[in-house]
């Protein structure tokens, strides 16, 4: 009886592994290899698309032969959206004109239309599932 009770306690105390997948970011046809691609990955609408503080992850991807590619492992299941820009001078800031339109090449996951302004988190998001890789092919504008 005691052995069965101890076995149940041990079974209940075994930690479960988090359900994770991975994200692969791929940006091609870059105009130059100068600088890096600045990336913000969001797992929520709050702060989308510019707040570094609200992003799930911020990173820079080096450019080689006109391509920037990065795989992010161990991403918890959920919906994610990505915004990127080509930071040629590597100052971490996107340059904008007087009305706020970006002067640096930029892009969003799912490559949505920009006719009506900044696309929503929902339009740009994709689901990351456990054990799989979600691909984000982003075109810069």
Residue-level pLDDT at 23: 98
Residue-level pLDDT at 117: 87
pLDDT tens readout for residues 55-102? 999 999 999 999 999 999 999 999 999 999 999 999 999 999 999 889
Checking if the pLDDT of 2 tops 60, the result is no
CB-facing half-sphere around the CA of 110: CA atoms within 13 A: 17
Give yes or no for a contact between 130 and 21, defined as CB atoms under 8 angstroms apart.
yes
Residues of the chain above pLDDT 70, percent? 88
Higher pLDDT, 80 or 2: 80
120 CB neighbour count, 10 Å cutoff? 15
Q: Which CATH architecture has domain 18-137?
A: Sandwich (2.60)
Which residues fall within 8 angstroms of residue 46, CB to CB, at 6 or more apart? Answer: 54
Structure tokens at 128: 């990351």
The pTM assigned to this predicted structure is 0.87
Checking if the pLDDT of 30 tops 70, the result is yes
Structure tokens at 91: 């100052």
Place of tokens 């009305």: 99
Residue-level pLDDT at 18: 75
pLDDT tens readout for residues 13-29? 556 667 999 999 999 99
Place of tokens 């503080």: 53
Place of tokens 């892009």: 107
Write down the domain spans for the chain.
Answer: 18-137
């Amino acid at each position: 009886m005691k052995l069965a009770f101890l076995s149940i306690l041990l079974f209940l105390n075994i930690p479960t592994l988090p359900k994770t997948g991975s994200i692969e970011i791929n940006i091609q046809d870059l105009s130059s290899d100068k600088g890096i691609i600045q990336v913000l990955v969001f797992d929520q609408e709050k702060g989308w698309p510019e707040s570094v503080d609200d992003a799930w992850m911020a990173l820079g991807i080096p450019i080689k032969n006109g391509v920037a590619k990065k795989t992010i492992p161990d991403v918890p299941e959920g919906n994610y959206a990505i915004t990127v820009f080509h930071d040629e001078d590597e100052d971490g800031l996107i340059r904008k004109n007087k009305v706020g339109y970006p002067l640096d090449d930029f892009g969003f996951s799912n490559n949505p239309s920009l006719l009506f302004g900044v696309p929503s988190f929902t339009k740009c998001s994709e689901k990351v599932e456990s054990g799989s890789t979600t691909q984000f092919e982003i075109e810069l504008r």
